[in-house]
Amino acid sequence: MRQNIDAGYTETLCIMCENAGGSTVQHDNFKVVQKNNCAVALVGTNASPHANVVIPYVNNVALHTAATNSADFFTNPLVASCGAITACELKASGCTNAYTAANLVIDASTGAITAKKNVDAGYVDVVCVKCSNAEASTIT
């Protein structure tokens, strides 16, 4: 049986054994199930980076919603067997280092991103969004 199919599979077999004396035994509907590879369960929604967000300046502390949730960036087609996205974080461009500027905030549980809109000098922050599910699948 193959063990390397990311989407998993189910096979139903009929097993029949016969000995040298001609005696046979049969087991019908023997089921073999390979579970999904949850390490690759999360998929990016775009082949290219997420569209830029341009925020007009507003002189108050209200935040702009730059992304409503992790589904703006990723899909989770195997949620039934691998679990929902459980954590998201912002990383610096390149996805290695932590994002340290204070202009953007991500809700770790939903993936929603809010942005300041009252920075007098303006700003350009290029970030990476990293999310994971309960089965250790991670996507950036």
For residues 27 and 58, state if they share a domain: no
What pLDDT, in 10s, does the model give residues 120-130?
Answer: 999 999 999 99
- The percent of residues above 70 in pLDDT, for the chain, comes to 92
pLDDT of residue 134: 78
For residue 139, pLDDT beyond 80: no
Question: Concatenated DSSP letters for 49-65?
Answer: PPPP------SSSPEEE
Instruction: Say if pTM beats, i.e. exceeds, 0.75.
Output: no
**Average pLDDT of the residues in 21-29:** 87
**Considering only CA atoms, which of 105, 101, 47, 39 is closest in space to residue 73?**
47
Assess if residue 82 is contained within a domain.
yes
How many domains does one find in the chain? 2
Assess if residue 4 is contained within a domain.
no
For residues 126 and 66, state if they share a domain: yes
pLDDT of residue 41: 77
What does the buried/exposed string (b/e) look like for 6-28 if buried means 16 or more CB atoms within 10 Å of the residue's CB? Answer: eeeeeeeeeeeeeeeeeeeeeee
For residues 17 and 28, state if they share a domain: yes
What pLDDT, in 10s, does the model give residues 54-79?
Answer: 999 999 999 999 989 988 888 888 88
Which secondary-structure segment (H or E) carries 44?
Answer: strand 43-44
CA angle 123, 129, 130 (to 5 degrees): 150
Of the pLDDT bands very low, low, confident and very high (cuts 50, 70, 90), residue 38 is: confident
Domain containing residue 106: 39-139
Of the pLDDT bands very low, low, confident and very high (cuts 50, 70, 90), residue 113 is: very high
For residues 69 and 112, state if they share a domain: yes
Are 96 and 131 in contact by the 8 Å Cβ rule? The answer is no
- What is the DSSP secondary structure assignment for residue 122, as one 8-state letter? -
pLDDT of residue 2: 67
